[in-house]
Structures are given as structure tokens and as C-alpha cells.
Amino acid sequence: MTPSWSIRRLHALDAAQIDALADVLIDCVDGGASVSFMHPLTRDRAVAFWRRVARGVAAGERALLVAEDAHGVCGTVQLIFDLPENQPHRADLAKMLVHRRVRRQGLGAALMQAAENTARDCGKTLLVLDAVTDGDAARLYARAGWQRVGDIPKYALMPAGGYCSTTYFYKHL
């Protein structure tokens, strides 16, 4: 079946794209995802986050991918290139976010594939990420062939409070 979304890399963000990405982030936090923010995530904080991302994208410190369907932006993922000078071959994969309205249709897997392809195109040979231990995302990464390294208990707080453990993963490309 032809997917109902398309994925592209953005090299600059306008105000409408920042707003749309804020919607996706707020939806994920509303849904209980542990993605750096506590609940409730206000629009102002979400927009401020994406403005920082936009500056990083403009500076070449990040690659930003977005998925769009007929209703607009429905998913996103980032590669962070702003790492120490002795790790030019590596990137961190971060902020994999799929709006709840399009989950469980393969978009997460498609964003992973697109992020890995982008990393290869940028000359990266190693990707690293962390995810809530045994959560939806951790299953996605394991399925995509990422190597589980180990867990760090009490790494972060869930959006509604309470510690969660994180699991580190890596993938050699």
C-alpha cells in the first residue's frame, strides 16, 4: 500500500512549520511520552523548543526530517551533528515523534529508515540514541536492527511525574 505521508528534510523552518511541529510535540507529551518535557507542555515552551531547533538546523548542527500527510506535519525526527571534534563519524538520533492520529501505520519505522539514510548521506557511520526502557520506541529501534547497550534506572521523569529508566541503543551504518 502507498503510504499516506511523505518524508523530507527541512533546511530552514518558517513560522507555520514551527507551529505544526509544536502541535506534534504537544500531542506526544499529552499522550504521556517522555521526550524532555513535563506535562502540560504549553504552546510557548513548545514553540521556543522548535525555534532553538530551527537555529541548530540553520547552523548545520542538526538534520531535521518531517513527515507530512493531507492534514499537515504528522511526524518528525532529528540527527544531532553538534558533537565533540573527535566524533565526526557519529550522530545522535533524537526527538522521534509521531502524532497519535497516525501511529501504528509504519511511520515511525519509515522515519527511522529516512534518518539512517540521511546520516549515511552525511557521511556518518555510527548513530546513538536513548529511549524509555521497554517503551513503544525501544521496540521500534530493536526492530530496526539497533543494538541495545544497557539501561540507566531513574534517568528521567515521565511527563506526569515519576522516574523512568532509559535504554541506550547504537547502530553502525
Ligand X SMILES: CC(C)(COP(=O)(O)OP(=O)(O)OC[C@H]1O[C@@H](n2cnc3c(N)ncnc32)[C@H](O)[C@@H]1OP(=O)(O)O)[C@@H](O)C(=O)NCCC(=O)NCCS
Considering the complex, state which of residue 32 and residue 123 has its C-beta at the smaller distance from ligand X.
32
Kindly write down the DSSP assignment for every residue of 33-90, as one continuous string.
Answer: --SS-PSS--HHHHHHHHHHHHHHHHTTSEEEEEEEETTEEEEEEEEE----TT-TTE
Please state, in angstroms and rounded to a whole number, the distance separating the CA atoms of residues 169 and 146.
6
- Which range touches ligand X (CB under 6 A), out of 51-59, 98-106, 116-124, 155-163? 98-106
Region 26-65 residues binding ligand X, contact defined as CB under 6 A: 28, 33, 35
Smallest separation, CB 66 to ligand X (Å): 13
Question: Which of 12, 70, 86, 104 forms a contact with ligand X (CB under 6 A)?
Answer: 104
Question: Which of 137, 167, 169, 171 forms a contact with ligand X (CB under 6 A)?
Answer: 137
- What residues contact residue 117 under an 8 Å CB cut-off, 6+ apart? none
Interface residues with ligand X (CB under 6 A)? 28, 33, 35, 96-98, 103-109, 131, 136-137, 139-140
